[in-house]
Amino acid sequence: MSIYIEKETEKEFDFNYEDTIKMVICESLDFIECTYETEICVTITDNDEIHKINKEHRGIDRPTDVLSFPMIEYDKPGDFDILENDAGDYFNPETGELLLGDIVISIDKVYSQAEEYGHSKRRELAFLVAHSMLHLFGYDHEEEEERKEMEAMQRQILESVGILRD
């Protein structure tokens, strides 16, 4: 498995953010029962940069906390059967790893939302990674039922790694 983490901001975390990101990604892959070796890219940036990306890719003219860019178009969320019939461009030809997608997180939002929700920055970062991983698996939260399903899965992932609300 390849997890690439790039930090494009001078702002720092007061914990080992790379270990937290990797732990949540690994638990998310286990939770969804992904049997493939995967490649995932995570970028930590600031509100200004995520604002630009959000406007460019989603047409939304404001910063957001996390953006997910899945590489797979699932027939059903979390169902990797599509890869058996159509490997397409889903795999890195050099490594054979499944190109799951990219995650972009605003460190500014991690700080502000941790404060707003009354928990640690580590918990907020872990939550955003778990949330984004579910998007990379094809889950969404447009409908109320989908939102509840994603919330339950996020909670289970975070409980599994022992990162709870403070």
- Domain layout of the chain by residue ranges: 2-160
Instruction: Return the exposure string of 41-59: e unless at least 16 CB atoms fall within 10 Å of the residue's CB, then b.
Output: bbbbbbbebbbebbeeeee
Distance CA 149, CA 126 (A): 18
| Per-residue confidence (pLDDT) for residue 42, from 0 to 100 | 98
Q: Which residues of the chain have pLDDT under 70?
A: 86-88, 166
CB 123 within 8 A of CB 116: no
The domain 2-160 is classified under which CATH number: 3.40.50.720, 1.10.8.50, 3.40.390.30, 3.90.1010.10?
3.40.390.30
| Per-residue confidence (pLDDT) for residue 87, from 0 to 100 | 67
> Which amino acid does the sequence have at 37?
E
> Which amino acid does the sequence have at 102?
D
| Per-residue confidence (pLDDT) for residue 166, from 0 to 100 | 59
| Per-residue confidence (pLDDT) for residue 81, from 0 to 100 | 87
